[in-house]
Amino acid sequence: MKNMSLATFLLTALALMPGSLAAQRNLRKAPKPDPAAELREFQPAEGFEVNLFAANPMIAKPINMNFDARGRLWVASSGIYPHIKPGQVPNDRILILEDLDGDGAADRSTVFADGLLMPTGVVPDDDEGAYIANSTDLLYMKDHDGDRKADEKRVILSGFGIEDTHHILHTFRYGPGGNLYFNQSIYIHSHVETPYGVRRLNGGGIWQFRPEKLRLEIYVRGMCNGWGHHFDRWGQSFGADGAYGDGVIYLMPGATIIGSPTSRKIMRGLNPGSPKECGAEILSGRHLPPEWRGTFVTNDFRAHRVRRYRISENGAGYASKQVSEPLRSKHISFRPVDVKMGPDGAIYFADWYNPIIQHGEVDFRSPMRNRQHGRVWRLSAKGRALVKRPELAGAPEGKLLEHLKDPEDWTRHHAKRVLSHRPRADVARALKEWIGKLDPEDEATGHHLLEALWTYQSIDEVEPELLGRLLRSPDHRVRAAATRVLGHWYARLGSPLPLLAIQVADESPRVRLEAVRTLGMVGSRAGGATAEAAMELAMTALDQPLDPSATTPGHGSRRHFKDGGVASGFLDYALHVTAVDLEPWWLPALEAGRINFGGNSRRLEFALAAVGTKRVVGRLVSLIREGKVPAARQEGLLAMVALHGDPGQLAFVFERAEERLGILDSLARSALERKVVPARGIDRVDVLLKASDEQVRAVGARLAGLWKVGGLRAELERLAKSPSDPVARVAALEGLAFFSDKLSVAFLKGQGSAGGSMEKRSQAVAALASIDPAAAAPLAVNIFTTGGKGSSERQASLGRLFSAFLSRQGGAGALANSIGAKKLAQDAVKIGVRLSEPYLQPGQAAGAESRLIEILRKAGGLTGGPKKLSLADTEKLATEVVESGDPARGEALYHSSELACLKCHAIGGAGGLVGPDLSSIGTTAQLDYLIDSIFDPNKAIKENYHSTAVITKDGRVLTGIKLRETPSELVLRDSDGREVPVRRDNIARRTTGGSLMPSGLVDSLTRDELRDLIRFLSEIGKIGDYSVGRRSTARRWRLLERVPAGLEATDKAPVGGPGDAGLSWTPAYSRVSGKLSLSDLDRGKTGIAFAWCEVRVVAGGSIRIELRSTTGLTLWVAGEKAEMAPEGAGRVVVKLPVGVHSLLFRVDLKKRRRGILCEIDDVPGSPGRAQFVVGR
Amino acid sequence: MQIRFFFAVLAFSTGGAAVAQPLSAEDSLELRDGDRVVFLGNTFIERSQSYGYLETLLAVGGPRRDVTFRNLGWSADNVFGHSRAVFDRPSAGFGKLRKQVVEAKPTVLVIGYGSNAAYAGKKGLDSFLEGYRRLLDALAGTGARIVLLSPIRLENKGPPLPNPGPQNANLAVYVKAIGELAAGRDYRYVNLFKALRAEGPGRALTDNGIHLNARGYRAAARTIAAALGLDVEGVEVKLEARGDAVRASSARNAVVRELKGGAGGVSFSMTRSMLPGFPGGGDAAEVLSIGGLLPGAYALRIDGVEVIKATAATWKVGVAFDRGPDFDRVDKIRRLGVEKNFFYFHRYRPANWPYIYGFRKHEQGNNAVEIPLFDPLIAEKEAEIARLRVPVARSYVLLPASAEKGGSR
């Protein structure tokens, strides 16, 4: 009680006072750092309990931790993070925590190393030394005299980038065969000298390092913040990303994962729509309940939660599904950043303990930043025996080998690490003896032998006999792992290729995948004829089936063929990577006639398509011409030829294009960006103008203009006036503009000034603006000065016009000059300002352009800029939010079409992808940050959400978020969520700017509405009603805008269903709870609504669809009507093949009184795995 | 133990001049008061900043002048500046390199490239030389006097590390070409490849075969300083005691005053003309011989701190030692230089660059005000170095060791 100081009393008293002070506390004060208080807030999984393992002063600011073979926990700790102060002496530390009596709490803490600068990774080597990330350097430090303090310090590697201190070297892990792995994140550029030459890695990735050989290689590229990496029992590795919500990532060797700046194709994670995650551990061992073993644990550090996934094999790769959460908390400073299993079989969490999680948004020197505290928590299963801590450090070799049979990954791992420091000959002798005693009939022997193989790898002793045996093991998981070991040993195996020839023809797709990647790595290291032969061998994997398409989940887009740059299948992707890696050898060999892929056209086609550049399109054309490519695969190849070919090749493409949009779009891009037009046959574009699909008519009209087919001008003019074909009309106007001559200017001027509808006039002026902004500007201003009712048509017309000027070089300036001092309609000004902001940011625009926003404001009589809040205003608003904000009303506003939040910001992965997903915004953002971000979007921008502005050589202006960049192409995501590719050689200027989020978005809201909206945002992700659950729930919907006549009374699906282009479907999204609300469903007077969502089946089989209530619902799954009880809970089990399938609901609004909550789940015993398609 | 030490110290050579080509006076790099030496190159240069040997020798060796140093080494860099491109394409690295050099305001540029290019072998030589010429042309505008360093020879550490033989053959080609490049432009050139060799087992200059360790950097510093005519020179003083009278028969590189004898010992004041080399390695050791002492053991104290003991017979022959306050001072200067380098690193290449200066500066750009705060800290260290590098008078007292507590062992 003596400790109940005055300050404590005051705090308690303040907390009890309602209103402003409580809000302020939320805003500016962190909770008292009392571990007991934090402990009380934990909600562990059923049957589990949490205890404190260590807290300050034993440790502070833990970032990364790893156990050693003695069971001691090594912790990297930094108080300097995120940035050194001038004059500050580096004083960060590596600590060793010891639980001497085995009671699950640390009793001793020793400073192993001091004087470090932001050590973000540490792993002990089980020989009293440790590898440590020290900003630019990888250090090795060692204790030689047994006092647990380092007395040796060496720089092992240097030159790792420090461009962002939460991206620097991190996530240290030993692999099963003794390689050390560590990661860097997306902003880092590393340049490292090694005895084998320079290694460079720009962007994120995982390094693979062999300590005693000092051999450093790139294991995978990409991931934004790959803060998690662990190997499973079979040596396969999986990652977690702290900036990209893809859940578990299967780390195929050599893959490029989302987030790498340069790559032709990337691989996505297995759980799109997941939160950002940090740390990763695959669980194992007798202490945990059986159903927990083998699951992947990672930290949703933003939401103070720990998540768990079950990973299962899926073809050549994996599928993953979220399962029950191990731990969650409401405590705002609980920041689980690392997770490791301990020697006792319990799970340990490093808690960075900080209300602030990052340094991008929050000032380096913010007083809220906690620099002193930190904890390690321990999660154990109640009533289950702990694992007896194994004695490894001094154990004889024979005993260590016996531990390789233990079910705990922890024990087997450290036994191998300890063995790796013993004399090689002793270990080899003991291993041989141990292997001899294993019972070949025992099912467990396969894994024991694999551990033996990894032990040989750990002591760097090549053992061809055991390798050969395991390459042909009856267990495909052993064969896959052995194939990878073969890759590490290839240089000492004499001729590894014949062995790989067998693996690449294996009956298991997982083994084939490993063989394909191993061939890629062996080939690129050996080079020369070996590389050529490896490539030919790898391509033989095509003789067996690849994964079914759509194996890796992604954000779906069904309508257009898109290269998209995202892997479509695991084995397919592995082949692609190998073909790209080996291209420097096989392509010249092919051209020189040294190799021919055994005359197999399928293999050749695949190889050429992987290259996909100008250099290979001639050969692709030959293959197609010779009839060697089946029709089903031609579209992608023809589009590739269209993008890179010469006029003759483009003519070849156009002859075969038919009405395929992917090909036609590529032809249009080549005309626009490269000025390359088919050498002949362009007159036949007239056929497209008569196509039944309006999209085809539209691209036809554009092509007619781009190719300047004079004979079609009259037809385009006719289409441009057509009242009944709006899509083709706009395209015809664009097509006419592409003629860029006096005739088209005159025609467009006429259409733009005639007395037609505002919609038609704006379309004509927009087209004119793309060729002659100065001529178009006065016509546009005429439209802007005319007031009108705020109909959606009017809004669209105004938006179209502004966009046309802004996306043309000189367009904004022409508009500014034309507006001058004229007064414009209020709505025109608002739309104009909103659309201009992303284009006209400081540094991106100059001259008249930069004044457009100012001129618009003046023209609309708007004074000042968008609303800005003072600090006092912010605090006042925050107080009101806490007092009276209604999150339910706020959520309705979030879904309203006026605010259009979902157009850019997804929740649970469903919604737009232009801005960050907001699934856990309430747990990461303080109220003041939320308020600032809404009122001033440029104040703090999430990483990777900075806009990029490009001016092309053909005079277009593009803005968007950079999605990826390949050697030939930059892909942006524009503010409408569309992917916009631009050839890099067509870029005249590129700048990086601020946010794409317009300011002034909330200016139209009432104070009540503002409070509600912010309250809602502040609740998302917190434990309660606004947290995305772990069950797989339909969140992305399409609603039928107008129910066609004839469907009201009948219980049948609209003709054609979801894919029917004749129907108008609008996007809608579930509430955070997962429910699609009834108010969103009700679109009109018919009393009937139709809604569909999609599931992506990643492994074929049975899937269970669950509905809380079936009242008033009819369901079609993949076009088949599902049998459901008319009332009560609905449960439908359907068998579905791999691919994307629709769930179409008919809702009888007269009967139904609630929204739709639709979930899917696995069916026990069935291999079927599915996820809902998310995204926009 | 003591005896062995004597033999060891007497066996010292006096610095790196023995391994480097002695240069004529006009070849020496006359550092002038106010000179700014900028080091540019790859990991070899970058890591040298945390050892500080080279800049210390350049600071204390040769005639008296104040010189400052900036280290612009960047790991794995090449003559194209590829490591410096950061968020831009590799080709943008060259412009950044030039900007970094210009902003460091060099009057002398010490440049070391070629070790990474050499992995490409003979077929990469033309592109390397073309790039090097472009680099030197671009840096000519600074007006700085230029020194080119060759790459070092790789050491063979045995398996499991790779055999450096093939790469050393590559390096020899590049070393020759860099020498010719320097000669063609009349630049000073230091052939480290030729000069640096481990002096025997346990005296390796690298731990990993490719990067110098502390011993390696000391050797490199000695070689470079000597080649530039800026090496430190040892002090050699000979005294003759006769009762109360003490006479200096010779004093090289030092001024000896206030010679006193009596009470069985000798005392005097000595001021070096320049600071010595680093302690504990035999660089430019101090040799003191005192004849005429009564038999017995004598201990030398410099400024009150005991430095060495020897018998009268040994003092007569001459005792070489490399410790004491002046040696400590050199090491202090080295450590100050390393601290200064740490500040400068975070000044010119701060972490979190995108937030402070780059595309996210609207978020944390306000922290940019901190970065120039390194400047006064750097200046402070440099002022301290400038003060310390001027030798001061030291009191030398030689007394019978038996008078010392504990006596002679």
Distance CA A438, CA A445 (A): 7
pLDDT of residue B358: 81
Nearest to B237 by CA among B263, B265, B271: B271
Residue A931 has pLDDT above 90, yes or no: no
Out of B42, B354, B373, the one facing A163 most closely (by C-beta) is B354
- Is the pLDDT at A33 greater than 90? The verdict is no
Which residues on chain B are in Cβ contact (under 8 Å) with A364? 352, 364, 367
The SS3 assignment for A345 reads coil
pLDDT at B7: 33
Contact B47 A158 (CB under 8 A): yes
Region A363-376: mean pLDDT is 88
DSSP H/E element including A97: strand A92-98
Tell me: the pLDDT tens digits for A1084-1128?
777 888 999 999 888 888 999 999 889 989 999 988 888 888 878
In A74-174, alpha helices (H):
none
pLDDT of B408 higher than 50: no
What is the pLDDT averaged over residues A493-507? 95
Q: Say if B83 is an interface residue toward chain A (CB within 8 Å).
A: yes
pLDDT for A1118? 86
Name the residue type at position A921: I
B68 vs B25, higher pLDDT = B68
Inter-chain CB proximity B353 and A943 less than 8 Å: no
User: From CA B219, how far away is CA B212, in angstroms rounded?
Assistant: 9
Secondary structure (DSSP) of B214-232: HHHHHHHHHHHHHHTT---
Give the SS3 label for residue A791.
coil
Interface test with B, best of A78, A83, A194 (most B CBs within 10 A): A83
> Contacts for A742-748 with beta carbons within 8 Å, 24 or more apart?
A743/A713, A744/A713, A744/A771, A745/A771, A745/A772, A745/A775, A747/A717, A747/A720, A748/A776
Most confident of A642-651, A792-801, A837-846, A937-946: A642-651
How much is the pLDDT for A759? 87
User: From the CA of A860, how many Å to the nearest CA of chain B?
Assistant: 29
Report the range of poorest mean pLDDT among A285-294, A419-428, A938-947: A938-947
Does the model's ipTM exceed the 0.90 cut?
Answer: yes
Looking at every residue in chain A, the average pLDDT score rounds to 88
Q: Is B301 helix (H, G, I), strand (E, B) or coil?
A: strand
3-class DSSP state of A646: coil
The whole-angstrom separation of Cα B43 and Cα B116 is: 10
Return d(Cα A129, Cα A418) in angstroms, integer.
Answer: 12
Are A516 and A542 spatial neighbours (Cβ–Cβ below 8 Å)? no
Nearest CB neighbour to B83, from listed A163, A191, A460: A191
Instruction: Please name the residues between 178 and 197 in chain A that touch chain B, using a CB distance below 8 Å.
Output: 187, 189, 191-197
A868 vs B75, which has greater pLDDT?
B75
End-to-end CA distance of chain A: 56
The conformational region for residue A612 under phi > 0 = left, psi -120 to 50 = alpha, else beta, is left
Residue A18 confidence class, pLDDT cut points 50, 70, 90: very low
Q: For residue B74, list chain A residues with Cβ-Cβ distance below 8 A.
A: 159, 191
**Average pLDDT score over residue span B314-330:** 94
Distance CA A327, CA A443 (A): 35
Residues whose CB is less than 8 angstroms from the CB of residue B59 and which lie 6 or more positions away in sequence, other chains included: B67, B69, B333, B337, B385, B389
CA distance A322 to A248: 9
The pLDDT of residue B313 is: 94
**Separation between Cα atoms, residue A813 and residue A806, nearest integer Å:** 9
Alpha carbon distance B107, A1108 (integer Å): 79
A687 shares contact with chain B (CB less than 8 Å) = no
The pLDDT tens digits for B196-242 are: 998 888 899 999 999 999 999 999 999 999 888 888 888 999 999 98
Distance CA A567, CA A264 (A): 10
- Helix ranges, A740-772 (H): 742-753, 758-769
Contact A530, A500 (CB under 8 A): no
d(CA A279, CA A339): 6
Q: Tell me the range of A424-428, A859-863, A1007-1011 where mean pLDDT is highest.
A: A424-428
Tens-place pLDDT, residues A577-634: 999 999 999 999 999 999 999 999 999 999 999 998 899 999 999 999 999 999 888 9
Q: How confident is the prediction for chain B on average, in pLDDT?
A: 88
Find the helix or strand (DSSP H, E) in which A979 lies.
strand A979-983
- Dig out the tokens for A166 from the structure: 């939460």
Is the pLDDT reported for residue B149 higher than 50? Answer: yes
Q: Name the packing angle between helices A570-581 and A583-591 (round to 10°).
A: 70
Residue in chain B nearest A187 by alpha carbon: B87
The string of pLDDT tens digits covering residues A161-209 is: 999 999 999 999 999 999 999 999 999 999 999 999 999 999 999 999 9
Tell me if A163 and B87 make a contact (CB, 8 A cut-off).
yes
Q: Any idea which of A249-258, B127-136, B194-203 has the lowest mean pLDDT?
A: B194-203
By CB neighbour count within 10 A (0-12 exposed, 13-18 middle, 19+ buried), where does B5 fall? middle
Tokens of B228: 């530039």
Give the nearest partner residue to A163 out of B43, B210, B353, using CB atoms.
B353
Contact present, A444 and A403 (Cβ < 8 Å) = no
DSSP A39: H
Give the model's pLDDT for residue A928. 81
Q: Are A982 and A673 in contact (CB under 8 A)?
A: yes
CA–CA separation, A748 vs A171, rounded Å? 60
A360 in contact with B, Cβ within 8 Å: yes
Q: Which residue of A has its CA nearest to B166?
A: A196
What is the reported pLDDT for B187? 94
User: Chain B 191-230, CB below 8 Å of chain A: which residues?
Assistant: 207-211
CB B79 within 8 A of CB B116: no
Q: Do the chains contact at A363 and B346, CB–CB below 8 Å?
A: no
Host H or E run for residue A238: strand A237-240
Of A950, A953, A951, nearest to A961 (Cα)?
A950
pLDDT of residue A1062: 67
Mind telling me how many Å the CA of A676 is from chain B's nearest CA?
A: 28
Q: Does residue A942 belong to the interface with chain B, where contact is any CB pair within 8 Å?
A: no
Under an 8 A CB cutoff, do A364 and B352 touch?
A: yes
Let me know: does A1133 contact A1123? Beta carbons within 8 Å.
no
Tallying the residues shown for chain B, one arrives at 409
Give the Å distances, CA to CA, from A363 to A25, A164, A940, B67, B365. Answer: 19, 14, 10, 38, 9
pLDDT (average), residues A1150-1169: 89
Distance from CA of A954 to the nearest CA of B (A): 23
SS3 state at A445: helix
Q: How far is B84 from chain A (nearest CA, A)?
A: 9
Q: Which of A7-11, A780-784, A1001-1005 has the highest mean pLDDT?
A: A780-784
d(CA A469, CA A452): 12
What local confidence, expressed as pLDDT, does residue A365 receive? Answer: 86
Cis check: omega of the bond before A866, within 30 degrees of 0? no
Size of interface A-B (CB pairs under 8 A): 127
> Cβ of A491 under 8 Å from any chain B Cβ?
no
pLDDT digits (tens, 9 = 90+) for A390-437: 999 999 999 999 999 999 999 999 999 999 999 999 999 999 999 999
Q: Residues 263..292 of B with a Cβ closer than 8 Å to A: which?
A: none
Which stretch of A375-384, A913-922, B391-400 has the lowest confidence by average pLDDT? A913-922
pLDDT the model gives residue A1028: 85
- pLDDT tens digits, residue range A896-906? 877 788 888 88
Q: Give the Cα separation of A930 and A939 in Å (integer).
A: 11
Of all residues in chain B, what percent carry a pLDDT higher than 70? 90
Tell me the C-alpha distance between A801 and A435, whole Å. Answer: 76
Sheet holding A375-381, edge to edge: A48-55, A375-381, A347-351, A336-341
Banded model confidence at residue A831, pLDDT cuts 50, 70, 90: confident
Q: Which residues of B, range 328-347, sit inside 8 Å of A by Cβ? A: 343, 346
Interatomic CA distance for residues A86 and B310, integer angstroms? 48
For the packed helices A647-656 and A631-644, what is the interaxial angle rounded to 10 degrees? 150
pLDDT at site A28? 52
pLDDT for the residue numbered A1121? 87
C-alpha distance from residue B195 to each of A854, B224, B227 (Å): 68, 9, 10
Q: What is the least distance, in Å, from the CA of A367 to any CA of chain B?
A: 14
Distance CA B45, CA B74 (A): 7
Share of chain A above pLDDT 70, in %: 93
Question: In chain B, what percentage of residues exceed pLDDT 90?
Answer: 73
pLDDT tens sequence across A968-989: 888 888 887 888 889 988 998 8
pLDDT bracket for residue A75 (50, 70, 90): very high
**Which strands sit side by side in the sheet containing A1158-1162, from one edge to the other?**
A1032-1033, A1158-1162, A1101-1107, A1130-1136
Contacts of A189 in chain B (CB under 8 A): 83, 85-87
- The whole-angstrom separation of Cα A533 and Cα B309 is 73
Q: What are phi and psi of B62, to 5 degrees?
A: 65, -170
Q: In what order do the strands lie in the sheet with A228-231?
A: A228-231, A237-240, A249-250
Beta-carbon contacts of A1085 under 8 Å, excluding residues fewer than 6 positions away, are: none
Answer whether the bond into residue A1167 is a cis peptide, omega within 30°.
Answer: no
Output the pLDDT for position A162. Answer: 96
What pLDDT is stored for residue A848 in this prediction?
67
CA distance B319 to A61: 54
Spatial CB neighbours of A1143, under 8 Å, sequence gap ≥ 6: A1034, A1092, A1093, A1094, A1095, A1105, A1115, A1116, A1117, A1158
Which of A 898-927 lie inside 8 A of B, CB atoms?
none
| A996 close contact with B: CB closer than 8 A | no
* CB environment A860-881: b (16+ within 10 A), e (fewer): bebeeebeebeeeebbebbbbb
Question: Tell me: the pLDDT tens digits for A514-564?
Answer: 999 999 999 999 999 999 999 999 999 999 988 765 433 333 333 333 334
Ordered strands of the B265-272 beta sheet: B254-262, B265-272, B394-400, B297-302, B305-311
pLDDT classification of A675: cutoffs 50, 70, 90: very high
